A and B are shown apart, each in its own frame.
Chain A
Amino acid sequence: MTGEPIEAVKNGVQVMISSLRQNPQAIETAFISIITFDSVAKQVIPLTDLASFQMVDIKATGTTCLGDALKVVSGCIDNEVAKTTAEQKGDWKPLVFIMTDGIPTDDWQSGLEEFKKRKTAYTVACAAGSGADSNLLKQITENVVSLDTADSQSIAKFFSWVSASIGVTSTKVEDGGKEVTGIGELPPPPSELNIVT
């Protein structure tokens, strides 16, 4: 992902963060981390509370190490999401959003195996543009959306939908610690987003 799409992703994240900052539930409780993946996957922003969060420059060029990304996110969940013990208050289950515009170029199945072992409240994958394979993403999560083109408008729409989803579900996740069972419980996506069934 380069040029317009990556700029749009950066903008999208900014807009998402600004809008979440207006949500009292989110600003008091949400933490955000960003992992990028191209020829390697790396966590560019460690899990940071929304109030302190600052976006960094992100780049994604070259190949698509989706498997590596799933491994990194698994490791981050292990290290950064606290589990409940008698002495420690556990965090809520994480929400994971994956966005890609390409087909994995690494051994992504082994990453998937790792990721499947982690518990998330829900995971949403977004196939951005024709270069991505939404059926492949279906193996990662039930909840897959696709964008016909990875242009800035569609990407912006995706992120505004993501912020709305976080807003709506954070209360649910917190109240019951329950899993949101499907995309049906998220706000209806805009027309630019196709739900992959």
Chain B
Amino acid sequence: MASLVILFMVHAMADKRRMMDDKELVIELFKIHNIFVPPAHMHLFEKFVQDKGSVKDIQVIKQTGDELMAKWKQKEKIAEILQTPLKVLNATVGKPYETKFDFEKFGWKDIQAYEFEGLEEAGLFYDQKTKQLTGVPTKSGDRKIIFKFKVEGQQDEDPFNEKPLTLIINPDPKTLWKNIASDKNDPYWKEDDVTLLAPLSDRHILVSCKRGRSHANVGAFREDDFAFKDLDNGWSIVVVGDGAGSAKISRKGSVIACNGVVDYFTEKSSADSLKEFDSLLLEHNTNASAETQKKLNRFVYDNLGKAVFQVHKKLEEFAKKEGVTLKDLSSTLIFTLLKKYDIGYALLSFGVGDCPMAVLNKDVSEVTLLNWIDVGEFGGGTRFITMPEIFGSDKFATRFGFKLVEEFSYLMLMSDGIYDPKFVVESNLPEIKNWQAFLKDIGGSNEDGIKVELSADNKDITTQFSSWMDFWSIGNHDDRTLAIIF
């Protein structure tokens, strides 16, 4: 080994001064071995160098040196390739994958042969034309891919050099979601999914309330709820509540809130008090003034306000009785009362939380929002009917609404499980084009081509609607409730 190093050093020097002749080479070599040719022997030395045998030896030295140099350069090239830190883009099962793997871009200029090991097993291949690793990954996991290569000068019989790479293949999230049934023995259990069609007012209501994938995945309960009813006094009511997932028994909270509103308006005293609205509306319609408008607003505030307050009280009583906190029952609450008059439909509404209500005019060219939604600074932040502070807030009065519409095509109430994926942000709600797109989506213009024919004569409407409700939207797997009055 030592002699090899010496030879190499000699040659390195020789290489620097290419013109150095054999004589000098031998002198240098001798020097390394502490042999110095005295002037008296110089003549002898020159003869020695020119000797046939010596010339041949020197030739061998030079040649061996050249080979050694080449080998070293090769080693360096290989080492460079092996040491290049490479990150291969992560892949996902079932998702078309491509990432550049361009030797030249990496600065690897002398690759003369290569192959990939472990790529095929992952469902991928190397496309020489595009210089990409590509394909559709079939299996998830941290896969070892070995890039095997030879650089210029390596022989056919030389083994490949191996550069291991890690390719992270994410599982297809769709396949990870589990659907674990909720515990039927739970005292607050309710069905995971409900979809139904029923007559309401002189129209129909199609409503679906489904447990979200995030809850199904862990066998948790549906927190959303809804209720609707035709009251005896000509009014009809639709309610939606979204129990907070962070609250312990909000599934019960949303039930109490939804049914509470319906119960309140079913009571005789409240049914009676709604009668006054007829005359107020008539007065407003024949002789509209700021005064009549004010009276109407006052009426809505008083009557719906009482209902809301009673619901809050009911929740409080329930919490006390069950020994839980009011917060444990956290639920949003939206509802609309509607009644048909000769002049059109009166819509009275209230909302707390991030669940929108909207009415679309006859030819779906206009949208009227019936509430504003509570959104926090961060995702998911909202307000609940269980929060005492909403009643004291100066915004409380603005939670109520009254609209008189001549005719309408659709009245919709939804929980954030629908709003988030379909409308995303508040600023999209007042735009009619988004509602038109939403209706198209329900009508079949969606990824899965699931079509709901919104007609009361449609025998399959609930099945269609239920499948539509299962639409896929990355990251949006909350409970979903959508009520459409059409």
Contacts and interface: CB of A to CB of B under 8 A. Distances in A.
A91 interface: yes
A25 B214 contact: yes
A177 B223 contact: no
A71 interface: no
B333 to A, nearest CB: 15
Nearest to B426: A86
A158 interface: no
Point out which of A81, A172, A180 has the most chain B C-beta atoms below 10 A from its C-beta: A172
B475 interface: yes
B218 A171 contact: yes
Contact of B425 (A21, A28, A87): A87
Interface in B218-251: 218, 220, 223, 244-247
Contacts of A116: none
Interface stretch (B113-121, B311-319, B379-387): B379-387
A81 B381 CA distance: 14
Interface residues of B, number: 42
B244 A90 contact: no
B168 A54 contact: yes
A81 B168 CA distance: 26
B379 to A, nearest CB: 4
Contact of A83 (B140, B174, B377, B427): B377
Contacts of A86: 425-427
A84 B378 contact: yes
B176 A175 contact: no
B344 interface: no
B246 A89 contact: no
Given A27-B173, A28-B475, A51-B170, A177 B217 contact: no
A22 to B, nearest CB: 7
A25 B477 contact: yes
Contact of B176 (A22, A88, A119, A176): A22
A175 B170 contact: no
Contacts of A177: 246, 376, 378-382
A148 interface: no
B330 A83 contact: no
Interface string B348-377: 000000000000000000000000000111
A24 interface: yes
Contact of A88 (B168, B174, B215, B425): B425
A137 B478 CA distance: 35
A175 B242 CA distance: 10
Contact of B377 (A21, A84, A87): A84
B287 to A, nearest CB: 38
B173 A92 contact: no
A18 B142 contact: yes
Nearest to A83: B377
A27 B244 contact: no
A29 interface: yes
Interface in A80-109: 81, 83-93
Contacts of A171: 214-215, 218, 220, 245
A122 to B, nearest CB: 12
B475 A175 contact: no
Contacts of A21: 140, 168, 170-171
In the complex, which of the residues B89, B245, B424, B427 has the most CB atoms of chain A within 10 Å of its own CB atom? B245
B1 interface: no
B213 interface: yes
B425 A174 contact: no
A52 interface: yes
A175 B251 CA distance: 12
Task: Tell me which of B223, B244, B246 has the highest count of chain A C-beta atoms within 10 A of its own C-beta.
Answer: B246
Contacts of B220: 171
B92 interface: yes
B345 to A, nearest CB: 29
Nearest to A169: B246
Contacts of A29: 475
A90 B375 CA distance: 9
A173 interface: yes
B72 interface: no
Contact of A93 (B90, B378, B425): B378
A176 B243 CA distance: 9
B173 A84 contact: no
A90 B170 contact: no
B459 interface: no
Interface string B158-187: 000000000010110110110000000000
Contacts of B477: 24-25, 28
A23 interface: yes
Contacts of B382: 176-177
Q: Give the residue among A27, A52, A173 with the most B Cβ atoms within 10 A.
A: A27
Sorted nearest first, the 4 A-B pairs with minimum C-beta distance are A175-B245, A177-B380, A176-B246, A177-B381
Interface of A: 18, 21-25, 27-29, 51-54, 81, 83-93, 119, 171-178, 180
19 contacts: A25-B217, A28-B173, A52-B89, A53-B90, A84-B378, A84-B381, A86-B427, A87-B427, A89-B424, A90-B377, A91-B379, A92-B380, A172-B246, A174-B380, A175-B244, A176-B244, A176-B247, A178-B244, A178-B380
Given A174-B214, A176-B380, 8 more contacts: A23-B176, A84-B378, A90-B379, A92-B379, A119-B377, A172-B245, A176-B245, A177-B378
